[in-house]
Amino acid sequence: MRGSSVVALPWFRRRDYAALLRLFTDPEKLPETFDVWLQRAEAVERQSRKSGLAVARILVRPAPFAAWCKERRVAPDQRARFAYVHEVSRQGDPLP
């Protein structure tokens, strides 16, 4: 894995965080507060870059993510979040 490898990270906005936690079927896998989530996400981002990976922040918004899950008949959980960001990153649409 050289610098050409890209890791797509689910990225949330502060204003969407509470709604996303209500939407997700596994909110226990995420911190209760946006600030704690942001600290952890930025740490993962830094570590990924330090390891030579490029990072793409992929914005996860409640309505588009819910629609994406419904279309695919999948639960809005961690597996779906990572599948979603992977798909969006392949379309070249990080953080609009």
pLDDT in tens, 39-95: 999 999 999 999 999 999 999 999 999 999 999 999 999 999 999 999 998 886 544
Element (H, E) at 49: helix 34-50
pLDDT band at 11 (very low <50, low <70, confident <90, very high): very high
Tokens of 5: 């490898």
In a domain, 48, yes or no: yes
In a domain, 1, yes or no: no
Torsions phi, psi of 76, nearest 5? -80, 75
Domain that holds residue 86: 6-90
Answer yes or no: are the C-beta atoms of 73 and 31 closer than 8 Å. Answer: no
Looking at the structure of the chain, the number of domains it has is: 1
pTM over 0.85, yes/no: yes
In a domain, 34, yes or no: yes
Amino acid, res. 41: A
End-to-end CA distance of the chain: 27
Answer yes or no: are the C-beta atoms of 32 and 80 closer than 8 Å. Answer: no
